[in-house]
Amino acid sequence: MPATVHVVARFVAKPGKEEELKTVLSALIPPSRREIGCYQYDLLCNPADPRDFCFVERWEHESALEQHAATAHVKAAIEQARELVEAPPDVRRYHIL
């Protein structure tokens, strides 16, 4: 049986772009949560640094995550966020030991 995939994806907004980035990232939540294989898709904001956003995701298996990454809504959000972030997002995949 394939292992559940946990993802932590961190985005840091450029100064003054926090609300724009929040809007772009928040728009990903409803369609992503409806995807087959999505167990969790939550957007967090660091209360100590309002420019720091993080998705915490849990997917049934790697192929569900790959399908998610290939969706139109993810591709559009990545393009929209490109000018709003200080650096490319830090996306990390994990498996439970």
* pLDDT per residue rounded down to tens, the chain (97 residues): 568 999 999 999 999 999 999 999 999 999 999 999 999 999 999 999 999 999 999 999 999 999 999 999 999 999 999 999 999 999 999 998 8
Q: With the C-alpha atoms ordered 27, 82, 84, 7, is the resulting torsion angle positive or negative?
A: positive
Choices 3.30.70.100, 3.40.50.360, 3.50.50.60, 3.40.50.620: CATH for 8-94 = 3.30.70.100
> Going by C-beta distance under 8 Å and a sequence separation of 6 or more, which residues neighbour residue 71?
31, 32, 35
Which residue, among 27, 13, 11, has the nearest Cα to 89 in the 3D structure?
11
Mapping DSSP to helix (H, G, I), strand (E, B) and coil, where does residue 74 land? Answer: helix
